[in-house]
Structure 1
Amino acid sequence: MMSMIRPKTLLAILILVAFVVFVEWYFGWAPLLAPWREIPLPGVLGALVLAFLTYWLRALRVYDYYRARMRGRFPACLRLTLTHNLLNNLLPMRTGELSFPVLMARDFGVPALHSVPVLLWFRLMDLHTLALFALLALGSHLLGPAVAVPLAAAWLLTLVFAQRLAPALRDRLGAPGDDGLRGKLYRVLDALPGSAGDFWRAWAWTFANWLLKLAVFVWVLGLFLEAPLAAAWLAVIAGDLTSVLPVHGVAGAGTYEAGVVAALLPFGVSGEAALAGAVNLHLFLLGSTLLGGLLVPLLPGRRVDRQTR
């Protein structure tokens, strides 16, 4: 039976088991989870509602980009987003990302040659936005806002060049009608935003989503430990960035916490407090993910056979 499990999956399971054992040995799960009993229920519910609002913003990004195809079917788009998010957060090694092109093809008839480039572009925008917030947090802490804000503005200017890149490359290719490499490359580039309006609307949804998500997670982390504001922002960002690692535990167990702790320690937060905060923040993330997943069966989703956005 063990021989049927792929090495990376086995490693992810081993990381999960080792993490659970380590937390029990180092801290103890009971005292680690005890602070949840002290948090007022309205506060937890409010944080969960705001976390769900970030899923809604993510769905709006997809819905707006594919608005010609998805018009009038936002609930189905939200279902797709919640399913994608659930699988992405629970399955190891980012295998949950594969669900996006599969669901886009099944529910909206969008071929993988179109949806995969768009997903990669969304992820690049996510990384760019996370880098923006990290630059603001770390720059303000080390250099002060007077320096950090101009640096962040300069970072944002890179988007102007990024917006023009795909259309320029596509125009240089022309419009080949064959199915060879040149034709496939043209269709990949054609999937990316061809107008400034499409590009900047997608970026606006991305920015709004991450601003809200990071703010909520910083607040939740603050319920479990005291740390400088810059440290909390960087810790939340670091935890999220661990999802791009080539190896991590099931549901990010262990690696997510390692990212959060690594960002907190340089700011003088003790290892014990950092671990407790990281674990409880991760539990909040997984809890909101699972609650979002419970809504999936309540939302419509059906096959639509079309060819283009």
Structure 2
Amino acid sequence: MTLGTVSIILVYAAFIQWVWGWQSVVSLWSSAGWGSAAIALVLLLGTYVLRTWRIYDYFPAETGGHFGTLLRLVQVHNLLNIMLPFRTGEASFPLLMKREFGLGVARGTAALFVMRLFDLHALLAAAGTGLALQTGKLWAWALWLAFLILPAIAFALRGQAFRLAAKVLPDKAKKLLDEVEAGLPLDAKAFARAWGATLINWFTKIAVLAWVLGLLGGLSTAASFGGALGGELSSVLPVHAPAGVGTYPAGITAGAIAFGAGTAGLPLAELGQAAVNTHLLVIISSLVGTALSLLVARPTRDRG
């Protein structure tokens, strides 16, 4: 798998060189300002810290006093998700939590599933902000607000929903249902913290990526947010290539075009180069975050 990943990355790099030339692609930052690149990188690194805090708060008994170790775990998990195809890196989370903190694999998997539902909702809500801003209509903001509060409504009605599902589903599926319920936050306060951290994390990330796309590609607000959504959806859904090469920039391009970006000539070429640069920024932030997390991690307590 490692050899295949490296081969795909090398072919992708050669393709970019053939189409535009890496000097032309990277030079976009010269006109935009390398200071902007540094700010974007710092903000993306901040989202990793917030993501770690969400898990730290989710499992206080297991992770208490070991934030640095958890930060390393989250960064390794994130890097594996980026580098491995078809979301196979997700399997590392419950296994790493078991090894480092003694958390049961079933509970870790259930909690990851719930957090991924949070992530998908927040990702769509963050991207919807750009569409609402572009539309500027009251009905658009009303629809966005209704979508934004869906998780709170679902959590309030979780008891009735699980009881109904238990009646409808076959007996073999009830064990899975119990695991999903165990992966939910313990109470309303825990839910509010997890939900709030998720929204802040994804709104920040989508806003940063949209800002970078607008800066490098000259896109409108809606097209920038659409491009950011497209890129992140390509990595969240089980269709991305190793390291996201090809699929992440293609997702950005498709999302931006769907939200009004130009589809031919120079605008499309500029969008393609901006998409490649944004993808590189995401990869670099993950690598830098992983390297920094190794400096702050410390051994977990002995679990015998």
Could you tell me whether the CA contact under 8 Å between 2:214 and 2:224 is conserved in 1?
A: yes
- Matches of 1:230 and 1:38 in 2, distance apart? 23
Alignment size in residue pairs: 293
Does the alignment pair 1:290 with 2:287?
Answer: yes
2:52 corresponds in structure 1 to: 59
2:169 corresponds in structure 1 to: none
1:260 corresponds in structure 2 to: 252
- The one-letter code of the counterpart of 2:59 is Y
CA gap of 1:31–1:276, structure 2 versus 1, over 3 A, is: same
- The one-letter code of the counterpart of 1:124 is L
1:189 corresponds in structure 2 to: 181
Which stretch shifts more, 86-95 or 48-57? 86-95
- Matches of 1:87 and 1:165 in 2, distance apart? 35
Which stretch shifts more, 83-92 or 40-49? 40-49
1:276 corresponds in structure 2 to: 273
Could you tell me whether the CA contact under 8 Å between 1:173 and 1:186 is conserved in 2?
A: no
Could you tell me whether the CA contact under 8 Å between 2:12 and 2:245 is conserved in 1?
A: yes
1:154 corresponds in structure 2 to: 146
Which stretch shifts more, 36-45 or 197-206? 36-45
Q: Secondary structure at the match of 1:197?
A: helix
CA gap of 1:271–1:43, structure 2 versus 1, over 3 A, is: closer
Structure 1 residues 33-182: aligned runs within 5 Å: 33-141=26-134, 143-168=135-160, 182=174
Q: Secondary structure at the match of 1:223?
A: helix
- Matches of 1:261 and 1:90 in 2, distance apart? 21
For normalisation by structure 2, the TM-score amounts to: 0.86
Question: Cα deviation per residue 1:58-79 (whole Å; 9 max; x = unaligned)?
Answer: 0011011112322222112211
1:24 corresponds in structure 2 to: 17
- Matches of 2:99 and 2:18 in 1, distance apart? 46
> 1:303, CA displacement in angstroms?
5.7
Q: Secondary structure at the match of 2:216?
A: coil
- Matches of 1:194 and 1:74 in 2, distance apart? 20
> 1:230, CA displacement in angstroms?
1.2
- Matches of 1:215 and 1:301 in 2, distance apart? 35
Q: Secondary structure at the match of 2:238?
A: coil
Could you tell me whether the CA contact under 8 Å between 2:206 and 2:228 is conserved in 1?
A: yes
Could you tell me whether the CA contact under 8 Å between 1:166 and 1:193 is conserved in 2?
A: no
- Matches of 2:163 and 2:189 in 1, distance apart? 18
Percent of counterpart pairs with the same letter? 37
Does the alignment pair 1:300 with 2:293?
Answer: no
Question: Cα deviation per residue 1:266-289 (whole Å; 9 max; x = unaligned)?
Answer: 524322011000000001111111
Could you tell me whether the CA contact under 8 Å between 1:82 and 1:296 is conserved in 2?
A: yes
- Matches of 1:302 and 1:220 in 2, distance apart? 38
1:177 corresponds in structure 2 to: none
Could you tell me whether the CA contact under 8 Å between 2:68 and 2:293 is conserved in 1?
A: no
Q: Name stretches of at least 5 consecutive residues in structure 1 with no aligned partner.
A: 175-179
- Matches of 1:169 and 1:303 in 2, distance apart? 38
CA gap of 1:46–1:200, structure 2 versus 1, over 3 A, is: same
CA gap of 1:227–1:89, structure 2 versus 1, over 3 A, is: same
- Matches of 1:125 and 1:84 in 2, distance apart? 17
- The one-letter code of the counterpart of 1:131 is L
Question: Cα deviation per residue 1:65-122 (whole Å; 9 max; x = unaligned)?
Answer: 1123222221122111111111111222211111111111011110111011111111
Q: Secondary structure at the match of 1:300?
A: coil
RMSD across aligned positions (CA): 2.7
Could you tell me whether the CA contact under 8 Å between 1:214 and 1:233 is conserved in 2?
A: yes
- Matches of 1:120 and 1:64 in 2, distance apart? 16
- Matches of 1:184 and 1:125 in 2, distance apart? 19
CA gap of 1:64–1:280, structure 2 versus 1, over 3 A, is: same
- The one-letter code of the counterpart of 1:72 is G
2:205 corresponds in structure 1 to: 213
For normalisation by structure 1, the TM-score amounts to: 0.84
Question: Cα deviation per residue 1:231-270 (whole Å; 9 max; x = unaligned)?
Answer: 1011111100001343332200100010111122352432
Question: Cα deviation per residue 1:123-162 (whole Å; 9 max; x = unaligned)?
Answer: 1111111221233322443x42412211112113322332
